[in-house]
Amino acid sequence: MDSPTIRGLRIEWLALGTTRPSRLACGRLGACEPVIADLGVENLAELVAALSPSSLRLSRNDAAGVIAAMVKSARVDPLIPRAVVQALIPGVLTLSRRIDTANGPWSDLDSFYADAISVLWELTSRWAGSDRPYAAGDLLAAVRTRLRTLQKSECRHRSRQSGDPDAMDHLAASAGPSGEELLANVLGDVTGYGLKVADAAVIYATRVLGLSIGEVADLAGVPAGHLRRRRRYAIERLVA
């Protein structure tokens, strides 16, 4: 189901995807990535269309390889991250079926999609240049994790506001600060113990939000082993 945000992206892409800058970006991408050049597409709109299952041009694995190549060489042109976002819109639309959007900081489905697209754009830009063979699935998983983090923060906040954990479902989603603001407040308290913000964030994400070390490592873009060591060090500082 489209929303104003998704519909706006599709309309923008109709105008943007076949322009001269799009053709130049596609050429630069193909020069860096043979898997793109082999497709014989002339612009980014044709590239994104080739990735659609309905085109029957690529298998699922081949499409994943193309998106991985796009992420790896995303820095060669500013339009490439936009093409990645456009290609992953179908995956973004499925997220609303895996997250209870009514039980979170979103006033409606469109605000949920707006957050999802914003996170997807941020992560695509951050991961640009990295070699991730499963970039498409990794990106969507990271977006889902970030949105679930916001949802859990909102639920905890509603519970505290009501004084009754069972009442949280009856409170408006817009009440109180956002999950990001709650996170900042908690980190401010914890860093009063002399902890680095990054170490406090690991404790908060794993012990309060309930994320696994693997999920946090994926969001932060650092090895899970490193985060385990930092969390262990932070806990030792807290109980010293």
Q: Rounded distance, CA 161 to CA 173, Å?
A: 12
pLDDT profile of the chain (240 residues), mean per 10: 87 95 97 97 97 91 95 96 96 88 84 93 92 92 87 67 49 42 47 60 65 72 80 66
Query: Would you state the pLDDT for residue 211?
Result: 67
Same domain, 188 and 128: no
Given 146, 166, 189, the domain boundary residue is: 146
State which residues form the domain around 22: 4-146
**Does 168 map to a domain?**
no
Task: Dump the DSSP string for 44-62.
Answer: HHHHHHHHSGGG-SS-HHH
Give the chain's domain count: 2
**Does 83 map to a domain?**
yes
Measured N-to-C along each axis, helices 44-51 and 60-72 cross at an angle, to the nearest 10 degrees, of 140
pTM: 0.68
Same domain, 190 and 104: no
Query: Would you state the pLDDT for residue 178?
Result: 44
Q: How many CB atoms lie within 10 A of CB 108?
A: 13
Are 144 and 98 contacting, i.e. CB atoms less than 8 angstroms apart?
yes
**Does 153 map to a domain?**
no
**Does 171 map to a domain?**
no
